Amino acid sequence: TAAPGTPPAAKRFDVYRNNVHASLIDALEAAFPAVERLVGRDFFRAAARIHLESGMPERGTLIGFGGGFPHFLDHFPPLRTLPYLGDVARLELLWLQAYHAADAQPLDPAVFARMGREDISVLRPALHPSLRIFSSRYPVAEIWRTNREDEEVKPVALNAGGDALIVVRPAADVLIYKLPPQQIAFLRALREGANFGEAALTLPPASIVGLSALLQELGRKGVFAAAATQ
């Protein structure tokens, strides 16, 4: 029996649910700061509440929470004039994934300088566990960067073309690099299990000839882990 003056069970549950919602909205706000800045805090929190009404997280941890938020933004009618917003949110998710990924020692890129092309071609590299690959038809890296890092948001030309990006954390900091689309295709092939020679078929002829130089360049970005290659 409840003590005298205790609110009814339904009211107590509503208070609990509102507190949970507020905590989850706070978590989304922390995970998507660039998105929040783009739409404003009040709009963000209202949209986040609508998103949560479609389903609460099933796991007891907030790690990985928010995975469905970019898709929600893509299809949220009030955001039709901001078609790039979902991809900005996807980039923020990849940043978080890279941040929370397992630590690994990057491979010394000088390894490739000491090897011949035939030896390199048969190797299957270990990609760094933090590596994420992302392509967008919008200039999302610049949109993300100015809304995350600049005191005053700079204008971004949406017709400037899309981005082909990698997100990686070889040490303490998460880094975002723009790459040529052919290099992104090369990395995707490696991620699917190709060796260097097989993946090089995605590259233009000049890059295949300079494969060692390309691998050194990618190695300096922290793309490869020091785990054994095969």
Q: How does pLDDT run across 174-191, given as a tens digit for each residue?
A: 999 999 999 999 999 999
Specify if 87 maps to a domain: no
Does 151 fall in a domain?
A: yes
Element (H, E) at 112: helix 110-113
Sheet holding 175-178, edge to edge: 132-136, 163-168, 175-178
- The total of structural domains in the chain comes to 2
**Where is the domain boundary, 49, 82, 115?**
82
Residues 114 and 193 in one domain: yes
Q: For residue 109, is it within any domain?
A: yes
Q: What is the pTM of this model?
A: 0.86
Residue 21 CB burial class (10 angstroms; 0-12, 13-18, ≥19): middle
Residues 56 and 119 in one domain: no
Whether 19 maps to a domain, the answer reads yes
Task: Identify the weakest region by mean pLDDT among 10-14, 88-92, 222-226.
Answer: 10-14
Range of the domain at 193: 102-230
Q: Is residue 193 part of a domain?
A: yes
Within a domain: 197: yes
Same domain, 28 and 132: no
Q: Which residue has the tokens 């940043």?
A: 95
Region 32-40: mean pLDDT is 97
Residue 92, domain member (yes or no)? no
Q: Could you tell me if 35 and 108 lie in one domain?
A: no
Do 107 and 38 reside in the same domain of the chain?
no
* pLDDT score at 15: 47
Assess if residue 108 is contained within a domain: yes
Quick one: 3 and 58 in the same domain? yes
Per-residue confidence (pLDDT) for residue 88, from 0 to 100: 98
